[in-house]
Structure 1
Amino acid sequence: MGMCAEIIAIGPFSTRVAEFLDYRSDLYAATAEGSMISRRLFGISEGSSLSREFAELLGIKDPWDFNQHKIENEKINFAGLKNFGEVYDHYADDVVALEVLADSGFELHFRPEG
């Protein structure tokens, strides 16, 4: 099985991000602007090679160095992630969501497993 990987995004709710969250937009109708919410992204389960490739696109050199798990948004290779989403098209929506959430002030955390 190897290593799996995901991102946990935590940040302020806004109508701008509603369509990029875990649930249908209408379920956020009563959510106040600025409320802290979370979103899980990617859920890569194909194994270590893909998870390491993904981590590198996030600016993480060693996926098991816990000091690197809070992602520095300016280190994210968004062009590389867009290509990643084209090659692995089942992650394409998460690539778009990640860019919107990062741009909206969400804090991003890398989470390996395995």
Structure 2
Amino acid sequence: MNNNFFRSYSVNDSGLGCFLSLILVGLLLGSIGLGWLVNSFLILVAFLIFSPVIAWGIFRWWLRRNLVEDSCPVCSYEFTGFNRTECQCPNCGEPLKVAGGKFIILTPPGTIDVQAIEVPTRQLED
């Protein structure tokens, strides 16, 4: 016979004594004129809690500003690079420069970059 009528519930309050001790020490320090010590400790704890959250937000903002996703102008392979840097296409190996949110072909000094056009051919009759 399974009798689940009387169940016992227990409350775990092991951390409550430590928390109350901290409050009592803070009140004692405040009453003898060392409230500035308690305030500076609370400010330090708040700084330690909020600084990683603020740093994460700043890091995401910086990454959104400086990370560029575009396709290679040579082989149309889409990849990611940092703004205002030089990189190589992982697909074709072409050296590229990232500027203005786009990948630009990096030409060495003294190289003239030309555009080729296709000219239709005509057969000459003899």
Q: Same fold (TM over 0.5)?
A: no
State TM-score, norm by structure 1: 0.21
- Bigger CA radius of gyration: 2
Q: Which has the higher contact order (CA 8 A, sep 6+)?
A: 1
**Larger strand percent:** 1
